[in-house]
Each structure stands twice: as C-alpha cells, then as structure tokens.
C-alpha cells in the first residue's frame, strides 16, 4: 500500500470520495457541452450517444487515472461540428464556455449546501462536499486556460481571425505536447501550478464568504 501511495497525489482513503466527485464533475461538464451544441443546432454529440448523464459515455480511463497521480485529468471530448451552428464562431464559444460554467455552477451549489446545511452532516459527507467544491472550481479554472486541448484554447480559436485560427490549428499538436510537459513535469511548479494555487483558493474562499453572509 505504501508503494502505491508514493505514486498518488491523494491518500488512499480519499480515493473513493474523489472518484465519486470526478464522476459527477466530468459527466456534467461533458453533458453541458453536448446539450448546448444540440440546442444550437449540432446533433453530432447526440448521434454519438454523448447527450446523456451516463458517466460511462464521458469518462476517459487515462484522463481519470492521471488526476489521481498528478492532480489533473480529463474526460472524453464531446465531438462538435461548428459548421452546424447558425453562427459558428459564437456557437463555438458558447459550447466551449458551458463546460467550465457547469462546473462553476456545481461548485456554487455544493458550497451553498456545505455552508448553509452541513452543521449536522456526517463527517464523510462534509469531506465529500469539500472535495466536490474544490474539484469543480479546479475544472472551471483549469479548463479556461488557453492551452490545447482545453476549453480556453477553443474559445481563443473562435475569438481570433480565421487566418490566425488556421495557424493555431497547424501547431496545435505541439501545443498539446507542451501542455502535457507542463502538467506532468516539475515545470508545472513554475507555470500552471502557481496560477491554480492562487486562483482556486480565491474562488473557494469567496464562494464560502458569499453564503456565510447569508447566515
């Protein structure tokens, strides 16, 4: 067991709670992308069985495993065909935004329950809510980073001119490699981690203070 724990970012005892949190967070995130695309006129995700809250359709085994090792991970990207939108660029931005925003909404709901109603909750449920809020804020912030293949990068693609987008697409595979290097090597301690370690506590703290002000 000690050998296994050396490769994990979290304690073994925390894994079941974190796994439950990730199943909910990843599933809602990808469903939000699929549902928004469907409502805007693209049925690609629906046709491929992704317009569902069944987590089996959304979880990526490797992406889920890595979050336990490095603290970062991903689900299976929802397929989207922008050309099916009435306004492809605006539609693309909205679809990309809805994934992170769904996680932020979950964090707001979870924080409200934790602050307003958890006084008599069992310790395990309180711990679940703490992880629930943390990971949903993490997914909200993390996915808005402008690095491929994250949602923030997709938003940036739709904000720039078509010529710039074409160049971004040309070099995207290299950007994805840089992203992985930043996540899984010590370089992350000087790039991504300082951002997350500052922004995530800011959001968590302010959400808690917002609900505490209601008491």
In the DSSP assignment, the letter for residue 143 is H
CA pair distance 3, 89, nearest whole angstrom: 49
Nearest in space to 127 (alpha carbons), one of 19, 20, 205, 17: 17
pLDDT tens-place values along the chain, 215 residues long: 444 455 567 778 888 899 899 999 999 999 999 999 999 999 999 999 999 999 999 988 888 877 777 766 778 999 999 999 999 999 999 999 999 999 999 999 999 999 999 999 999 999 999 999 999 999 999 899 998 989 999 999 999 999 999 999 888 888 778 877 887 788 888 888 888 889 999 999 999 999 999 98
Active-site annotation, residues? 30
Tens-place pLDDT, residues 153-186:
999 999 999 999 999 988 888 877 887 788 778 8
pLDDT of residue 3: 42
Dihedral angle sign, alpha carbons of residues 132, 137, 143, 145 = negative
Residues in Cβ contact with 42 at an 8 Å cutoff, skipping those fewer than 6 apart: 80, 81, 82, 84, 85, 91, 95
What is the count of structural domains for the chain? 1
Q: Is 71 exposed, middle or buried (0-12, 13-18, 19+ CB in 10 A)?
A: middle
Q: Give the pLDDT score at 72.
A: 67
Query: For the chain, percent helix, then strand, then coil, each to nearest 5?
Result: 75, 0, 25
Query: Please, are residues 139 and 105 in contact by the beta-carbon 8 Å criterion?
Result: no
Range of the domain at 145: 2-212
């Amino acid at each position: 067991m000690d050998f296994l724990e050396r490769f994990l970012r979290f304690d073994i005892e925390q894994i079941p709670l974190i796994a439950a949190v990730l199943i909910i967070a990843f599933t809602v995130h990808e469903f939000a992308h699929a549902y928004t695309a469907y409502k805007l006129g693209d049925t690609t995700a629906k046709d491929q069985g992704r317009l569902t809250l069944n987590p089996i359709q959304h979880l990526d085994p490797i992406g889920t495993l890595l979050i336990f090792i490095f603290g970062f991970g991903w689900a299976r990207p929802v397929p989207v065909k922008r050309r099916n939108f009435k306004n492809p660029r605006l539609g693309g931005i909205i679809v990309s935004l809805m994934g992170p925003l769904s996680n932020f909404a979950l964090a707001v709901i979870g924080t409200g329950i934790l602050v307003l109603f958890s006084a008599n909750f069992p310790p395990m449920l309180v711990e679940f809510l703490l992880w629930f809020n943390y990971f949903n804020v993490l997914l909200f912030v993390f996915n808005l980073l402008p690095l491929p293949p994250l949602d923030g990068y997709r938003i940036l693609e739709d904000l720039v001119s078509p010529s710039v987008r074409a160049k971004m697409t040309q070099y995207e595979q290299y950007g994805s490699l840089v992203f992985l290097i930043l996540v899984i090597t010590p370089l992350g301690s000087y790039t991504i981690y300082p951002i997350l370690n500052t922004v995530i506590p800011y959001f968590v703290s302010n959400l808690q203070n917002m609900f505490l002000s209601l008491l």
